Amino acid sequence: MHYVISYDVSSSSRRRKIGKILEGAGRRAQYSVFEADLTKAGLQGVVKNLKGQFSDGDTLRIYPVCGSCLKGLVSLGKNRFLETGVFILE
């Protein structure tokens, strides 16, 4: 399953830790947004690794995106991940 994972974290050190965990699971689409293809077990592992990294006021959201929804993706701008090459969905 494809997932979009976003977070809003007030602490720079926690933000870096969360970013590193998510870099191991997927690709950074924006500074606090990742996209990842994960199995159910993979998603559970990511969530387990992220637990304890958040404080009051911080948020994390994980959105499942089905294959037919991905086909309807509209992306404006550079259409690339920040740390990797070009990513185009047709």
- Do 3 and 62 touch, CB atoms closer than 8 A? yes
Lookup: tokens for 55: 């404080």
Q: Domain 2-71: which topology?
A: Alpha-Beta Plaits (3.30.70)
Q: Model confidence at 76, in pLDDT bands (50, 70, 90)?
A: confident
Query: Tens digits of per-residue pLDDT, 34-68?
Result: 999 999 999 999 999 999 898 888 999 999 998 88
- Of 59-63, 80-84, 85-89, the one with minimum mean pLDDT is 85-89
Domain borders along the chain are 2-71
Residue 86 has pLDDT above 50, yes or no: no
Query: Tens digits of per-residue pLDDT, 17-32?
Result: 999 999 999 999 888 9
The whole-number average pLDDT for the span 74-88 is 56
pTM of the model: 0.80
The amino acid sitting at 47 is V
More confident residue, 80 or 67: 67
DSSP 30-77: ETTEEEEE--HHHHHHHHHHHTTS--TT-EEEEEEE-HHHHHT----S
